[in-house]
Copies of this chain bind each other. A is one copy, B any other.
Amino acid sequence: LGEVSDLQKALQLLNWDQSTMMPPGGARVRGAQFATLARVIHERFASDETGRLIDAAAAETASLPDDSNNASLVRVTRIDWDKARRVPVELRAEMAAAEAEGYVTWLSAKAANDVGAFRPVLERHLELKRRYIGCFPEAAEPWDALFDDFERGMTAAEVRVAFDRLKEGLRPLVKAIAANPEAVSDAVLRQQFPVEAQDRCARALVTPWGFSSEQWRLDPTHHPFASSLSPTDVRLTTRYNQSELGTGLRATMHEMGHGLYEAGVDPDLVRTPLCRGCSLALHESQSRLWENLVGASRPFWTHAGPILREHFPEQLGKVDDDTLHRAMNRMEPSLIRVEADEVTYSLHIIVRFELEQEIFNGGLTAADIPEAWNAKMREYLGIEVPEPAQGYMQDVHWATGGFGYFPTYALGNILSAQIWERLLGDVPTLPDQIAGGEFAPLREWLRQHLHRHGRKFTPKETIRLVTGTELDPEPYLRYLTQKVTELYGAPAS
């Protein structure tokens, strides 16, 4: 497992390098390097030998408590191993090829709004995904087999309950912000901000959260992500927009949340498959918690306001904390998911989730997707999609076979608020600490209740450990209702 981990980290480094450091000429062989590492990892991990070693380790660890590191390692590894062996190598290769081809076709199809060129990409992915689903006949619904790769043990049925309630609760909030678009202005963030100063400012914001050059990096890229080569080597990436400050600040705080999760895993789990965040939804709960519950909160801007004014005396020297806080929280229904505000973001996800349900559990075909997409955007967000590039073609995910994945974002939003309510119960002075620039108690609470466990427990077990309860959208709706009320006025009931 240590060897597999080492190879996976080498693959992660190839990926990080490609996104941050590689000169363009490196692209010609990088694809082959990725494919080889992935194949070698799969061969070594999914081998008969690994199975024998798991059996032997299970015998040795049988008397250990279930929540011990070693018993957990054997338990989780056996499930990983079983899943890895259920999918034929040829199908994996076909899927990898379709991802690469899909990406290239998507780039040109999106640029040309060419629905016809993109349809075969989707059709190919849907065919391959159905074969993949066929490898897991025990799934209650076909889509569950896809989702299980991201949130092991969770199902469409559970997501549906949460999302139906979320959709219902968000409807009046969307109306409230759409009715009053001028209530909040982000004009102060729309000035010229030199990238070097943005970088210094972003570092000044996340350093008290736990960023240090001893164990972290922060580099610019096109599509920000966080990657850890070990809990003491965490690589954040972000992007800066010279003429708008909010994007870079939000991206950096978001990735810092991911990074803190990776940095907080029990060091005893290093070089094992347990040494990373539990699931995508739980990971997103951390990025959204630090980006929004902390970074977009009024107390935080008591601390952050002076830092921004110090780094941008010309642009922001006379802008007060309140104005900055409001600017960071401007909301408006819009077309592009990655630019969406806190209220509308989850609705973008629900559109994708419901379409995937209709595809895999119903009869929706690739040809039906564009119109079905536009209808849902109209219904949930009240906006018309002017072209496919701003509609169903906007994300790279479906183009590269990423089905069963989107819900994790909205689940992360829901969980972030559940965790926050529990945190406030345990640490009532948290808002004052944040206003005073004191983040260690928050970070340590998260480490203690979530980060240190890594992948030892299932997502549902982990959700219970960190929230004390089950998945529940009510805290998130309470949080958003309060925020919308404060900034945009009380929603009509």
Contact = CB atoms under 8 A, between A and B. Distances in A.
Interface of A: 2-3, 6-7, 9-11, 13-14, 17, 21-26, 28-30, 32-33, 35-37, 39-40, 44, 213-217, 229-230, 232-234, 270-271
A488 to B, nearest CB: 42
Given A23-B217, A215-B23, A36 B6 contact: yes
A213 B23 CA distance: 6
Nearest to A44: B40
Contact of A10 (B33, B39, B213, B271): B33
B14 A230 contact: no
Contacts of A23: 213-217, 232-234
B271 A29 contact: yes
B32 A2 contact: yes
B232 A25 contact: yes
Given A24-B215, A25-B215, A40-B44, 9 more contacts: A6-B29, A6-B32, A7-B36, A10-B37, A17-B17, A25-B233, A26-B230, A26-B232, A29-B270
A92 B213 CA distance: 35
A271 B31 CA distance: 12
A36 B229 CA distance: 15
A452 B2 CA distance: 39
B6 A13 contact: no
A26 B215 CA distance: 7
A270 B26 CA distance: 12
Copies in the complex: 2
Given A13-B13, A23-B216, A24-B215, A36 B233 contact: no
A6 B21 CA distance: 18
A30 B6 CA distance: 9
A230 B24 CA distance: 11
Main secondary structure of the interface of A (DSSP, over half): helix
Nearest to A2: B32
29 contacts: A2-B36, A3-B36, A6-B29, A6-B35, A6-B37, A9-B29, A9-B33, A10-B11, A10-B33, A13-B14, A21-B217, A22-B229, A22-B233, A23-B213, A23-B214, A23-B216, A23-B217, A24-B214, A25-B232, A25-B233, A26-B215, A26-B229, A26-B230, A26-B233, A28-B230, A28-B270, A29-B229, A30-B229, A33-B229
Contacts of A29: 6, 9, 229-230, 233, 270-271
A458 to B, nearest CB: 26
Contact of A6 (B22, B28, B33): B33
**Which 5 A-B residue pairs are closest in the complex by CB-CB distance?**
A25-B232, A26-B233, A25-B215, A6-B36, A29-B230
A37 to B, nearest CB: 6
A131 to B, nearest CB: 26
A2 B34 CA distance: 12
A220 to B, nearest CB: 14
Contacts of A10: 10-11, 13-14, 33, 37
Contacts of A37: 6-7, 10
Contacts of A14: 10, 13
A2 B39 CA distance: 13
A418 to B, nearest CB: 31
A2 B233 CA distance: 30
Contacts of A233: 22-23, 25-26, 28-29
A39 B6 CA distance: 11
